[in-house]
Structure 1
Amino acid sequence: MPKAAHQEDIVIVGAGCNFSAISGRDKNALRWDKLGYAHLLKLASQEGAKSFVRRTPSIEYWDDEVPHEKIQDMAEYLEDFRVIPKDQLPSGVKFGVSFTTLTVNAPCHLEYLYQVLLQYGVRFLRKKISAIGDAFANPKTKVVFNCIGNAARHLTGVEDTECYPTRGQVLLARAPNVRTNMMRHGRDYETYIIPRPESNGNVILGGYMQKGNGDSATYSHETESIKKRTRALSPELSAKNFEILAAVAGLRPSRNGGARIERTTVNVNGEPRAAVHNYGTGGTGFQAGYGMAIEAVATVDDILQKWSAEPITAKI
């Protein structure tokens, strides 16, 4: 097991990051997915190993009814998209697709983004706050982007009762022979195998989607269930032995009604300041995050224009 760490560090270590059809079918989710896929594709093509994003063959199965409008939308832009013939589906599966996904080495990709932002002159400060107004402690601060995740339910000045955690347990494993991203969306479970780019053959094996469960502990019976389900799903995993490196649990920041992107006003010493809320994406933050960021920045374009003669656009 890894050394003791903060909860947010544990989530990063165990994050299984890819582009998948697990997101919602609402217009916002579909739009963010499309933007996110194009962005990750660009990183994989132009930055390659430097960004820790990689094109990866992917197969996804569903045991229940499929949101056909979502699949139709994804088919319009996903590389190598194909519906798998019914006679090639595993027992119990009603529908399946294959396409080229983007897999992400989460901890290394975040370090890459951190270095990019440093080049743009971004300064980082880690500090606890008890209310959204505390983020405006510096009188020069005109805009705050609130990306606080699960804490949005309790932070004073936000207190969004629609927010809830969705627990997941995953395994970090070494399995160098795994080359394919695979997911099976069951009626009451999620099973997935996500190869981690530039990691010497590590993969993320999962998992669970337990709505409203805020327990960050890990359990041996869940580990055994993940091992059994992923071996059954992936021929690449069952063909060779693999080594379990860690079992980790994380709490996805979910929200009833979908993610929130909204500009509000915070009164700071009698002066109105802009707070842009950007949270609640659940387990799709890496694939939806870029599209969400673009829309969040657009809500304060009028303020940003005062700081620059040229339009400000999000670039990474």
Structure 2
Amino acid sequence: MSRPIVIVGAGVIGLDVALLLAEQGYGPSITVIAEHLPGDTSINYTSPWAGANFSAISGGDANALRWDKYGYQHMMKLAEEHGTEACISKTPSFEYWDELPSKTKIESMSGYLEDFAMLDIKDIPKGCQFGVSFTTITVNAPRYIQYLYRLLQEQYGVQFVRQRLPSIKAGFSDISTKIVFNCTGNGARHLPGVEDAKSYPTRGQILLTKAPQITKNVMRHGKDYETYIIPRPQSNGSVILGGYMQKGVSTGDTFSRESESIVERTTTLLPELLTPGMEVLAAFSGLRPSREGGARVERTSIQLDELRNGILVHNYGAGGTGFQAGLGMARDAVNAVEDVLRSISREKSRL
């Protein structure tokens, strides 16, 4: 089977690239190559550990704001049309900041978030300077990526290959390959041919709890911490509590003192967690694929031999925003090779 389009990495970033390409008719031309696939668990496979939701945790730069808007609109539509099977849901959200976010950030959010409202100072927690409410998207992360995995294979004809590549150049091992998308997340730091020294992990610890009385998303953005409560769709009342943002920390261990801090912070932020009571089911740790200067979405070329260069599109470094920024990043990555894609045959959507 020929491989005109290769995507390296099967986290949410790689799956989003595959989805946008498949929706344009390129499904049978796509091969996703990854060491880990949806359904796996590994500290080196970040996506299953995510909260996950759409939140204002992202930066205020132009790319982040643009990616957020695109991702929000796409996922709101998905929640309306396929929410149950995709395991995503529209959810009321309340977010608070210890320090006032930028005017640009506030204006951007208010322009597209459904039911957006700025909260009165008396309605936000003590110590916070700003708060908003809006309708967000909450995501059952492991089940959502499994939904994309099934959709891409069964309805779009995307091929998945479980393989750990020795280098990014190995993505071009098939002579038919015209484009390789590098969606390797934390792997970008050490993968030969990429070796991006700006990439680093940001460790988080979360608690999976049973608290079916919680039906809203609540977040507090601190100067050097994040506290969040995220109900998990299609999970029979599970709620994710967090968390931590530990730059450069790469352990997958979990620590009781951090679990205790999470419980203290989240129950203070949302006392309803204790009424009628919640049950802590497990603690997990994950490594967000971060990057100095923000995510890298860039078309480059790579020399394959004396006569041939390959077209390589880097798409990684989203940090903790992969589920909300991934579709916007994917759109930029795909648009960067629009000229090459025109030479690859397409088929009409099977949907």
What is the TM-score with the length of structure 1 in the denominator? 0.94
Amino acid at match of 1:149: G
SS in 1 for 2:160: coil
Instruction: State the distance in 2 between where 1:309 and 1:252 align.
Output: 34
- CA separation of 1:306/1:100 partners in 2, compared to 1, >3 Å: closer, same or farther? same
Structure 2 contact 41–48 (Cα < 8 Å) conserved: no
1:39 to 74, 87, 107: 74
Amino acid at match of 2:230: I
The residue number in structure 2 matching 1:222 is: 258
The residue number in structure 2 matching 1:250 is: 286
Instruction: State the distance in 2 between where 1:5 and 1:69 align.
Output: 38
Deviation readout 1:205-246 (Å, 9 max, x if unpaired): 000001111122110000000011111111321222111111
Instruction: State the distance in 1 between where 2:346 and 2:230 align.
Output: 44
Q: Within the alignment, does 1:68 sit opposite 2:103 as a pair?
A: yes
The residue number in structure 2 matching 1:103 is: 138
Structure 2 contact 43–287 (Cα < 8 Å) conserved: no
Q: Offset of 1:309 from its aligned partner?
A: 7.2
The residue number in structure 1 matching 2:323 is: 286
Instruction: State the distance in 2 between where 1:169 and 1:249 align.
Output: 4
- CA separation of 1:162/1:57 partners in 2, compared to 1, >3 Å: closer, same or farther? same
Instruction: State the distance in 2 between where 1:309 and 1:158 align.
Output: 30
SS in 1 for 2:170: helix
Q: Within the alignment, does 1:297 sit opposite 2:300 as a pair?
A: no
Aligned residues: 310
Q: Within the alignment, does 1:128 sit opposite 2:164 as a pair?
A: yes
The residue number in structure 1 matching 2:193 is: 157
Matches for 1:141-290 after TM superposition, within 5 Å:
141-269=177-305, 270-290=307-327
Q: Within the alignment, does 1:23 sit opposite 2:50 as a pair?
A: no
Q: Which runs of 5+ in 1 are unaligned?
A: none
SS in 2 for 1:160: coil
Cα RMSD of the aligned pairs, angstroms, is: 1.9
Range with greater deviation from structure 2 (77-86 or 152-161): 152-161
Q: Within the alignment, does 1:306 sit opposite 2:343 as a pair?
A: yes
Q: Offset of 1:5 from its aligned partner?
A: 4.6
Q: Offset of 1:8 from its aligned partner?
A: 4.2
Structure 1 contact 14–171 (Cα < 8 Å) conserved: no
> Equivalent pairs: percent with the same residue?
55
- CA separation of 1:257/1:5 partners in 2, compared to 1, >3 Å: closer, same or farther? closer
Runs of 4+, deviation exceeding 4 Å:
none
Instruction: State the distance in 2 between where 1:125 and 1:117 align.
Output: 13
The residue number in structure 1 matching 2:9 is: none
Instruction: State the distance in 1 between where 2:342 and 2:64 align.
Output: 28
- CA separation of 1:5/1:292 partners in 2, compared to 1, >3 Å: closer, same or farther? closer
Q: Which runs of 5+ in 2 are unaligned?
A: 1-39
